Amino acid sequence: MFDLGKRTAVITGAGSSIGKAIAELFSAQGAEVHIIDLNESNAKEAAGEIAAKGGKAIIHICDVSDQQQVKKLFDGIKTIDILVNSAGISHVGTVETTTEADFDKIFKVNVKGVYNCLYAAVPLMKAAKKGVILNIASVANHVGLVDRFAYSMSKGAVYAMTLSVAKDYISNGIRCNSISPARVHTPFVDGFIAKNYPGKEKEMFEKLSKTQPIGRMAETIEIAHLALFLCSDEASFITGTDYPIDGGFIKLNN
């Protein structure tokens, strides 16, 4: 089950965090993985770890917010069986504390970046009459999050694009779904705590962990496991669906 042999998987933001975990797992399941990232050192590190385990990973340094870069890159790859849109950035702030520059930056990466990759990949999948797309959204699609105005906006757009692409291309053999994680333990979380709560890192980590009813943050590999299912043939009847993976956050906190 969950065999990705002879599949080409393009994963954005695969140099770190959730994207990296997905790239490693997909490679372990037999996929040829293309790591798309803006940070060259992160991309090389991720590819090296995959190679050390006998997998194959190809690095592409690319700004997903630049449509020409993305189109040229994807056309060069030619065959894309799986696209995972994981590249994204976060932002802390209300509508009052979010500057226009903040808003534009979030939109450029989290919304336009996903659009650019969809724009470049869908024609290739249409030509092949098959393909799987997975977008990484957020629980912010479903509930209001404190101090996450611009981030919530961007992930709501990702969810809407998921539904639109799923409906428009179902007759072309293309499936499109999204995953909505709650808080995941990533370097961003550690950095946010260290910056804003110096000396209280352990206390704040525990506090943030307990915002999930399950009592902890998700690990990146847990998100990757769900991604693997949705991108595998075992999920061949699933499209146009968003999957919360949230430790009970949406339903049990309300």
Query: Which sequence positions are flagged as catalytic?
Result: 151
Nearest to 84 by CA among 2, 143, 44, 25: 25
| Separation of alpha carbons 171 and 163, rounded Å | 14
Nearest to 19 by CA among 112, 189, 135: 135
Whose structure tokens read 């990533």? 186
Nearest to 211 by CA among 188, 191, 181: 181
Nearest to 20 by CA among 39, 47, 2: 47
List the 57-61 sheet strands across, edge first: 57-61, 32-37, 8-12, 82-85, 131-136, 174-181, 242-245
**Is 250 in contact with 142 (CB distance < 8 Å)?**
yes
Question: By three-state DSSP, how is residue 11 classified?
Answer: strand
Residues 6 or more apart in contact with residue 247 via CB below 8 angstroms? 182, 212, 213, 214, 215, 216, 217, 218
Question: By three-state DSSP, how is residue 183 classified?
Answer: coil
